[in-house]
Amino acid sequence: MTSNAFCRSFLKEVPKICSFQTKLPQGFHTSCQMCVKRKVRIRISSKNFVETAIKGTPQFIARHLADPYVKRRFAQGYRCRSAFKLIEIDNEHKIIKPGMKLVDLGASPGSWSQVAAERIFPIIRSDSDGSEVLSTDGIVIACDRSRFTPLPNVVQVIGDFTDPQTQKQIQDMLREGFSDDKADVVICDAATNSTGFHEQDHFSLTKLIISATVFVTKILKPGGTFLFKMRTGSEIQKMLSTMKRFFGKVHIVKPPASRTESTETYFLCKNFKNK
């Protein structure tokens, strides 16, 4: 199947993923395009609201200071504690290997890209003068709307990854110096702005992930891996069954570094079937 035919077949699945309109109460427009088209409204009630620690509050600071992952991230020089989510997933499932081509969607401030670059470009020799020689194969392309402080061995694409122009830039980079424009692994920790309303946040992230997946089906090698973040909610099971049609193995994983009270969860989709 060609890439375009594949994307069309993926898009046919999208209405199934976004068929949540019947479950929602009335009174509020969701950000899901399918539902907006159908003029579906939902009502926000306080029972849907998820309380989270707000940055800067004493509650947030106390939790932050007591968090062992925060201490480890300073000790090991990672940009943020979320680095450990990828480290734990990869240590268990071995998705990132030396010499791979990897795309990180929603990469800022860059800790996932940092972890990916360490594993794609391992140290192959440490010289007596203290200098280190890294393996040179592979590429890490980090895409985000926000520019972040550059990282060694990571190339940045600044833009919205749902925008065709940004997607073209990523494809051009994947092709540069390689025989094709395909990636071995795509990781996506992108987040939409949180409203604090569980289902609303779940729907907006679902919509973003659907756009990301359509792009991923164009750039992923057959057999490739797609790891992405979701928020738990009513669409999880539909997302799971859809992903299973396109990937040989799909696991839902919650690494220990992801806080128990957080609604985030990760989809690890292996063995892309675009043959």
Active site residues: 229
Which C-beta is closer to ligand SAM: that of 21 or that of 162?
Answer: 162
Q: Residue 158, interface with ligand SAM (CB under 6 A)?
A: no
CA distance 84 to 74: 12
Q: How far is the CB of 112 from ligand SAM (least distance, A)?
A: 4
The DSSP bridge partners found for residue 227 are: 187, 268
Give the residue, chosen from 89, 107, 141, 157, that forms a contact with ligand SAM under the rule CB under 6 A.
107
CB of 19 or CB of 194, closer to ligand SAM: 194
189 binds ligand SAM (CB under 6 A): yes
For residue 111, state whether it binds ligand SAM (rule: CB under 6 A). yes
Residue 82 as a binder of ligand SAM (CB under 6 A): the answer is yes
Q: In the complex with ligand SAM, which residue's Cβ is closer, 134 or 191? A: 191
R_g of the chain computed on alpha carbons: 19
Q: Is 264 in the site for ligand SAM (CB under 6 A)?
A: no
Q: Is 44 exposed, middle or buried (0-12, 13-18, 19+ CB in 10 A)?
A: middle
Ranges assigned E (strand) in 106-258: 123-126, 132-134, 139-144, 155-158, 183-188, 220-231, 247-253
- Of positions 30, 42, 79, 274, contacts ligand SAM by CB under 6 A: 79
- 214 near ligand SAM, rule: CB under 6 A: no
Q: Among residues 223, 227, 266, which one has the least CA distance to residue 247?
A: 223
Out of 110, 224, 233, 255, the only residue in the binding site for ligand SAM (CB under 6 A) is 110
> Which DSSP letter does residue 192 get?
P
Does 144 interact with ligand SAM (rule: CB under 6 A)? yes
Burial class (CB in 10 A: 0-12, 13-18, 19+), 160: middle
Taking the C-alpha atoms of residue 23 and residue 19, their distance in angstroms, rounded to an integer, is 9
Residues lying near ligand SAM in the complex (CB under 6 A) are found at: 79-80, 82-83, 106-112, 143-146, 160-162, 189-191, 208
